[in-house]
C-alpha cells in the first residue's frame, strides 16, 4: 500500500476511535481532558491544552501537563499569542519557531526561556454563542508542525466542538432537571407547612428560610425532611 494511502487510512481509523471515545463521555471536564490527550495522538506534539473564553476572560480548562498550562498563562498575562489570536480571528495559527517569530514579541521569548517551548499550533473552538475556545498544541522542537497538521487540527477541532457542545448541553439539562426537582420538593414542603400550621405561602417560606439559616442546613435538605416526616422538628 502506498505510504500516503496508508497514512490516510491510519488517520481515518484514529478519528473513528476518537468518535467512539467521545460518545461515551458526558462530563465537560472529562471531555476536555480526553480531547487534550487525543490531540497528541492525532496531531502529535509534546503538550496540549484547551482554552475557554467566556465574558472576555480566558482560562485553561484542560491540559496534559503543567507546561501548556504555564504557556497559556503567559499568553493571558501578556495579552498576546497564537491561542488568543486563534480565538480573536476564529482561525488556525501555526508557529514554526517561537525564537524567531516576530508576531508575539512578549509571549514568544518568555515561553522559550521559561518552558523551552519552540513550536505551536492553535485552533479556534467555537463551542456555542457564549463560549469560544482554542485547542493548543505545543512542541519542544522547532518546526514540529506542517501544513497538513493545520488541516488535521481543523478536522479534529470539529470533533472537539461537537463533543464539548454535547457535554455542555447534557450538563445544562442535568442542572435544569435538578433545579426543577428541588423546586418541586420545596413547593411540596411549603404546602405541608401551610396545611399543618395554617400559614400563608409567604409565612411558610419565612419559617423554612429561618430554619435553614438557624441550623445551617440547605433549604432543599429541610424540604426533604418536611416531606419525609411532615414536620420541621423531627430528626434534627
Over residues 63-84, mean pLDDT? 97
Cβ pair 141, 118 in contact under 8 A: yes
pLDDT digits (tens, 9 = 90+) for 183-232: 677 778 888 888 888 888 778 888 888 888 888 887 778 888 888 888 87
Max CA pair span of the chain: 84
Over residues 19-26, mean pLDDT? 52
Q: In this structure, is the dihedral angle defined by the CA atoms of residues 28, 39, 83 and 73, taken in order, positive or negative? A: positive
Over residues 60-65, mean pLDDT? 94
pLDDT digits (tens, 9 = 90+) for 132-161: 889 999 999 999 999 889 888 887 787 777
pTM over cut 0.95: no
Instruction: Give the pLDDT score at 95.
Output: 97
Grid coordinates in use for 9?
Answer: 487510512
CA dihedral 169, 174, 177, 183 (to 10 degrees): -120
In whole angstroms, give the CA distance from residue 217 to residue 236.
10
Q: Evaluate if residue 180 carries a pLDDT over 70.
A: no
> Within a 10 A sphere around the Cβ of 129, how many other Cβ atoms?
6
Instruction: Give the pLDDT score at 79.
Output: 96
> Within a 10 A sphere around the Cβ of 153, how many other Cβ atoms?
25
Over residues 107-116, mean pLDDT? 97
Backbone phi and psi for residue 52, each to the nearest 5 degrees, phi listed first? -125, 135
Secondary structure letter of residue 44 according to DSSP: -
Helix axes 147-197, 3-23, angle to 10 degrees: 10
Count of residues making up the chain:
236
Amino acid at each position: 500500500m502506498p505510504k500516503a494511502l496508508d497514512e490516510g487510512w491510519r488517520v481515518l481509523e484514529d478519528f473513528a476511535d476518537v468518535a467512539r471515545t467521545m460518545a461515551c463521555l458526558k462530563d465537560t471536564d472529562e471531555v476536555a481532558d480526553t480531547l487534550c490527550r487525543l490531540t497528541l495522538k492525532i496531531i502529535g506534539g509534546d503538550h496540549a491544552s484547551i482554552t475557554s473564553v467566556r465574558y472576555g476572560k480566558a482560562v485553561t480548562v484542560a491540559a496534559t501537563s503543567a507546561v501548556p498550562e504555564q504557556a497559556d498563562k503567559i499568553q493571558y498575562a501578556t495579552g498576546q499569542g497564537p491561542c488568543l489570536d486563534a480565538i480573536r480571528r476564529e482561525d488556525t495559527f501555526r508557529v514554526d519557531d517561537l525564537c524567531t517569530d516576530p508576531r508575539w514579541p512578549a509571549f514568544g521569548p518568555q515561553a522559550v526561556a521559561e518552558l523551552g517551548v519552540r513550536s505551536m499550533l492553535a485552533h479556534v473552538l467555537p463551542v456555542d454563542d457564549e463560549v469560544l475556545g482554542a485547542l493548543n498544541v505545543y512542541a519542544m522542537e522547532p518546526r514540529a508542525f506542517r501544513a497538513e497538521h493545520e488541516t488535521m487540527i481543523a478536522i479534529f477541532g470539529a470533533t472537539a466542538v461537537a463533543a464539548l457542545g454535547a457535554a455542555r448541553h447534557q450538563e445544562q439539562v442535568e442542572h435544569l432537571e435538578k433545579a426543577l426537582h428541588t423546586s418541586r420538593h420545596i413547593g411540596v414542603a411549603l404546602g405541608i407547612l401551610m396545611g399543618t400550621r395554617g400559614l400563608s405561602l409567604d409565612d411558610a417560606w419565612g419559617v423554612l428560610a429561618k430554619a435553614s439559616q438557624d441550623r445551617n442546613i440547605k433549604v432543599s435538605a429541610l424540604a426533604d425532611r418536611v416531606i419525609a416526616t411532615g414536620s420541621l422538628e423531627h430528626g434534627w
